[in-house]
Structure 1
C-alpha cells in the first residue's frame, strides 16, 4: 500500500503542509521536526516520485594523507564525470572533512537531498566513519572504500588478490627474504594488501620478519624520510620489498639510492596503483595497474541501476587489476 503524506501526518502529529515541506526539503521546517518526519517516512517505506537530477561526488577527508595531491584520484573523478555526463546527469563535488566544525550538518544536508545520488569516495574512511551514511534519504554507492560492519553498495579495488599476485611474482623471481614498506596511515586498502602478502608467505611456510617491515609516511617526501629512518637502524635488508602503493615505493626508492643501494641489484621493489611517476622513475617501477577511470564509471552505472528498480540486495564489486612488469625487480 502506498504511504501517503496524510498517514505520516497522523503518526507524527505534524500538519500535512509541514510534512510535505519536510519531505521536499523546503525552508521553514526546523531540523528536529524535519528529522522526525523523515525518519517516520523511511520506516513506512515512503518514496518520492522525484527524478534524480545530479550525481553528488562526495570526497571524504580524514587527514588528507592519501587523497591530497594524489595522482590516483583525478582519474577516478574523471571516470565519474564522464559516465554521469553520458547518462545525462550533472556532477557536483562536495568535500567533507571530519575535522570541520560543520561536518555533521554538511553530511545530513548531502544525504537529505533526494534530487541527487551520492558517489562516496571512501579511501580515507575508517570503520567508525560509516555510521552517518546509513541514514541516507538518497542512493549512496561507496567508491574505493570498505566497511566490515556495515553493508553499502560498493566499487573497490581487488586489494588482497592483487597483493597476492605481487608476492607470487617475487617468489617466482627467486626472492625468499621479502619485506614490506607500509604506510603509517592504515587505510582499509593497505590493510587488505598486507593480508594478501601475509597469505602468500604463510602458504609457503614463511613469515614477514619484523625487521623487514619499514613504516613510512604516505607522501613521497614523508615516505623518503621514513625510509631513511628505517635504513639508519636496519643492519640487514630483504632482497625485495612490497610497498603499499607507488607513492610510498617511489619515496622509498629515493632513500635507498641515497644510501648507496642499487635497485634492483641490491634490493627489488614492487608498488601498487600504476601512477604515471612510476613509469619514468629510475628504474621504472614494477607495479599493479588499477583501472581508476573505469572504477568511477562503474560506480555511476551501478548507482543508476539502483535508482531504476527497488533495491533487493547490496553488492560489493571488486575490480580486478593487471600486473605491470618493469625494471625494479631482479631475478635471484
Structure 2
C-alpha cells in the first residue's frame, strides 16, 4: 500500500496525506485525524519522519533502526512488529500521547541520532532494540537519555529495557516436545544472530538436557528469519540430509514463526507431512500462525503487555522524574495447536528410543 492508496481511501489529495503524516499546517484538523485513522485501519505506516495527532500536545518517539537482516525497511508490515506497534499506539492514546515514528540506518547511527536529538520533537523515546547491539544502544542513550529499549536487554547498561523471556519460551517448547515422546529432535536456526535467538537456543538446550536429549550437529539447519514462503536453501539442506540416508528428526524447533512457517511450506513441497512425518514448533505466535495449515504450535509472546509496560515506564519517567531504572522480562505461554503430535510408534522404535522422564 502506498500514500496514493491512503489518499483514495480518505477521498483527499496525496498532498493532504503528506501534510497529515508530517504534522505540517495546511490541512484541517478533522481531515488530518480522518487520514491518520484511515492509515491505521489499513495497516499503513509511512516512511515519513513523523505521524502526529493534532489532538495531543505530548508525544513519544518510536525509533526503529532498519537493516536488511531482521528489521526491514517495511518493518511496519512484519507481523510481530505490526502487532507490537498497534499496542504501543493504543497505550499512547490512552495516556494522552501521540506517537511519532522515525527510522534510521545503522550504518549512520551517529549522524541520525545527532539529528533526532537536535530536533527535540518528543518527551521521550521507545527504541525497537530487536536488531541492536550493546554498542548501538550506548550511542543512542548517550545522546537521548530519556529512552526505553524494547525487545532486547543488556544487563550492564544503565538503560530501561522491556524484553521477552526468551529462555522460558524455548524451554517450554523443548519440554513439551519431550513430554509427548520426541527424543530425535532437530533445530532450525536463524542465519542472522541476535540476542533473542541466542537466548532461545539456550532455553531449548536447557529443556533437552533435563530429558537427556541431545541434538547432533547434523540435525541443526539455518535459514533466513524473515521469509514466510518456502526457501530454496532449506530445501537444499533437507534434500542433502535425506539423500545421506538418515531419517528425519521426528520434531523440529524453529527460532521464530517465520522460520517455522517457511519450514512447513518447504517440507510440503518435498512431500514431508506435518505433523504425520515430523512435528514443527515455532516462537512468537504471529497472526499467520493460525492461517497456515496445520495451525502452528508456538510460543505466545505477550506483545500487548510488553507495549504497555514500555509506554508506562517511559511516561512515568517523564511525568514523575527519574525514580531509578528497571529492566523487565515478560513471560511467555505455550500455545498447542495442530503442527505437533507424538511420534508414531514406528518412528520411536526405528530410532531405538523410548519415552523418557526428565532427569
Task: Using structure 2 for the length normalisation, give the TM-score.
Answer: 0.73
CA displacement at 1:115 relative to structure 2: 4.3
2:133 aligned with 1:122: no
Matched pairs, number: 279
Give me the whole-angstrom Cα distance separating, in 1, the residues matched to 2:94 and 2:228.
Answer: 39
Matches within 5 A, 1:123-272: 123-220=130-227, 224-235=231-242, 236=246, 237-272=248-283
Give me the whole-angstrom Cα distance separating, in 2, the residues matched to 1:88 and 1:138.
Answer: 22
Give me the whole-angstrom Cα distance separating, in 1, the residues matched to 2:96 and 2:280.
Answer: 43
Please tell me whether the aligned partners of residues 184 and 218 of structure 1 are also in contact (alpha carbons under 8 angstroms).
yes
Aligned mate of 1:289, from 293, 300, 315 = 300
Please tell me whether the aligned partners of residues 178 and 211 of structure 2 are also in contact (alpha carbons under 8 angstroms).
no
Distance 1:110 1:138, change over 3 A: farther
Matches within 5 A, 1:91-130: 91-100=99-108, 103-111=109-117, 113=120, 115-130=122-137
SS, match of residue 299 in structure 2:
strand
SS, match of residue 64 in structure 2:
strand
Distance 1:128 1:313, change over 3 A: same
Please tell me whether the aligned partners of residues 294 and 338 of structure 2 are also in contact (alpha carbons under 8 angstroms).
yes
Give me the whole-angstrom Cα distance separating, in 1, the residues matched to 2:279 and 2:106.
Answer: 38
Distance 1:223 1:117, change over 3 A: farther
Task: Give a deviation string over 1:275-327, Cα, whole Å, max 9, x none.
Answer: 12110211111011112233212211011122233434322111122211110
Give me the whole-angstrom Cα distance separating, in 2, the residues matched to 1:295 and 1:84.
Answer: 13
Let me know the Cα RMSD of the aligned residues.
2.0
Tell me which structure has the larger Cα radius of gyration: 1
| Partner residue, 2:64 | 59
Give me the whole-angstrom Cα distance separating, in 2, the residues matched to 1:78 and 1:280.
Answer: 20
Give me the whole-angstrom Cα distance separating, in 1, the residues matched to 2:326 and 2:150.
Answer: 12
Task: Using structure 1 for the length normalisation, give the TM-score.
Answer: 0.79
SS, match of residue 149 in structure 2:
strand
Distance 1:326 1:222, change over 3 A: closer
Distance 1:150 1:63, change over 3 A: farther
Give me the whole-angstrom Cα distance separating, in 2, the residues matched to 1:149 and 1:227.
Answer: 37
Give me the whole-angstrom Cα distance separating, in 2, the residues matched to 1:115 and 1:128.
Answer: 23
| Partner residue, 2:15 | none
Please tell me whether the aligned partners of residues 178 and 240 of structure 1 are also in contact (alpha carbons under 8 angstroms).
yes
